[in-house]
Amino acid sequence: MDKEYEETGKIPLIGSAFPKMVVQTSHGMKKLPMDYQGKWFVLFSHPADFTPVCTTEFVSFSRHYDDFQALNTELIGLSMDQVFSHIKWVDWIKENIGDEIKFPIIADHGECARKLGMLHAKATNTVRAVFIVDPKGKIRAILYYPAEIGRNMDEILRMMKAFQVATKHDVAIPANWPNNELFGDHVIVPPATDVKTAKERLESKDHECLDWWMCHKKLD
């Protein structure tokens, strides 16, 4: 683990660097985030192997795997099960449901979970955490779900698409994009920060405005 997190005891937050770690996975040893440099990755934890909700999530992640790959995004699972449990569970999913889990699953002994804030309210199993990490190793989003509610893969994919659009075009993304109730698939132009720019915003033909601070546009 990074010294910064070891010495302070703090968990990483949005905007901070993903802590460096070497982990055992069902695909062998991995160095995070170094092995994924130049790619986005989604690291997600689940409470335990061979549990119903977790199995539905892994099947869903598997069926959306090509969608994540198309966005230059890798998937990494994690739970505090041993690696042979991961391997057997993956085999069970393939044999009984027909889905092949192509991404690695971290076999954590608790260290990763504690450092990443995946253990809540003195729990002995990880909550359903999601870390979205960009190609430079920076954490861009953190989501937490309780044990009894499975995640929505469409929303995680929407976030991946939104992050990449926002990063590439220096824009913000409205609620429910690309089906926003006000602007449809338009994106938000960052608000002006001085009087001159505010006036120019209202006169520009590059976007539409409800007011100088509320401008939107369609991407080419």
List residues with catalytic annotation.
54
Concatenate the DSSP letters of all residues of 35-81 into one string.
GGTTSEEEEEE-S-SS-HHHHHHHHHHHHTHHHHHHTTEEEEEEESS
Cβ–Cβ < 8 Å for 157, 149: no
Cβ–Cβ < 8 Å for 105, 91: no
CA distance 218 to 82: 48
CA distance 22 to 33: 9
